[in-house]
Structure 1
Amino acid sequence: MTTSPSNLLATYGLFLAWAVHDAEELALGPRWLRENLPVLRERFPGVPEAVWKAAESVDEREFALAVGVMGAVVGAAAVAGARTGGRSAFYQGALNGFGLHGLVHLAQAAAVRGVTPGSVTSPLVVIPFTLWARGRLRRAGVLRPTGLRGTVAGLGVAAAATVVAHAVARRLAPRF
């Protein structure tokens, strides 16, 4: 199967867009959370204490390992997309989850009324890339329809992948 250059950009571009976005998260993530945790606890008293304790315990090394684990997942999705001309359900699910998680970053920034890790590249890279790639796949006739069920599933898979990445990183961190 021959894959057009724009389909290759739409597929491998997922990994590139993810790398740009996660560079922002790596640069700001754990430090931002440490500096803002007291304000967040005060502003959101309904959040369970276990969530705050988990957030407090993430250091730069563990966070970087989690990003690396997620990079392996996103990279595998991009390769699956490239090999199938964008038809891969795994790739399209990752693409949708990536775009939706960009919206979550914007919601987080709105909730805290300020810049949060990931909120700068979400409107500049994540969301535009996702919309462009989905449009490219649609024009190529390979985009799978996504309704409310698919949207919820995409968010769920993105959240689950994040939890798994952090669990793997927590397990690996003492070895590095």
Structure 2
Amino acid sequence: MVSKKVTWGLLAAWVVHDLEELATMPGWTRKKRVMPTTPAQAAIAIGLMGGVFTAAAAAGARTGGRSPFFQTVLTGFGLHSATHVAASLVFRGYTPGVITAPTVVAPFTWWALRRLRREGIRPNTSPRALMWFPIAVGTVHGIAHLATRVRENTALVRQTGH
């Protein structure tokens, strides 16, 4: 059976990585004028994605790393590190998450996949399963955007009495 360091380690690595994103995303998007993200939107999106990672880590722990959901999230997380490096190349500098992508995300994923293989578990992550990654990211950001708009509109109604 695979160690809990592998399964719950996914959640821990995600927390480290997303703390960097939470701290830097709103200011960076405002400065670069790219997909402006407020601190509230970043917090909501990151919190929602945290639910996905918590569920994946729990599924991995429950199945000893054999859960296809866990394996897909683990592999997608590792591939995600490349998007951070690519974004920094495109923007020619720092982008949110680029520090922990090559120092935490990629090494953890590589280590965890090796540990699974040592235990005789061959991660079976289909390209179709990995397509859920951009869908999940888009969905949590969309929900975060809508949630903050609803909150802003509610506050405006309270202020104006309409």
Q: TM-score, normalised by structure 1?
A: 0.80
Who is 1:29 aligned against? 25
Of residues 115-124 and 166-175 in structure 1, the stretch that sits farther from structure 2 once superposed is 166-175
CA distance in 1, matches of 2:24, 2:11: 20
- Residue 114 of structure 1 aligns to a residue whose secondary structure is coil
Structure 2, unpaired ranges of 5+: 153-162
In the alignment, residue 59 of structure 1 is paired with which amino acid? T
Alignment of 1:115-154 (within 5 A): 115-146=94-125, 150-151=126-127, 153-154=129-130
Whether contact under 8 Å (1:8, 1:82) holds in the other structure is yes
1:169 shift after superposition: 1.7
Structure 1, unpaired ranges of 5+: 38-51
Whether contact under 8 Å (1:86, 1:92) holds in the other structure is yes
1:104 shift after superposition: 0.6
Whether contact under 8 Å (2:68, 2:124) holds in the other structure is no
The C-alpha deviation readout for 1:46-75, integer Å capped at 9, x for no partner, is xxxxxx5xx13x311011100000000010
Q: TM-score, normalised by structure 2?
A: 0.87
Aligned length: 151
Matched, 1:85 2:81: no
- Residue 120 of structure 2 aligns to a residue whose secondary structure is coil
- Are residues 152 and 131 of structure 1, via their aligned partners in 2, closer, same or farther at CA, if it must alter by over 3 Å? farther
Matched, 1:112 2:91: yes
Matched, 1:159 2:155: no
1:143 shift after superposition: 2.5
Q: What's the Cα RMSD here?
A: 1.7
1:111 shift after superposition: 1.2
Matched, 1:168 2:143: yes
CA distance in 2, matches of 1:27, 1:33: 12
1:175 shift after superposition: 4.1
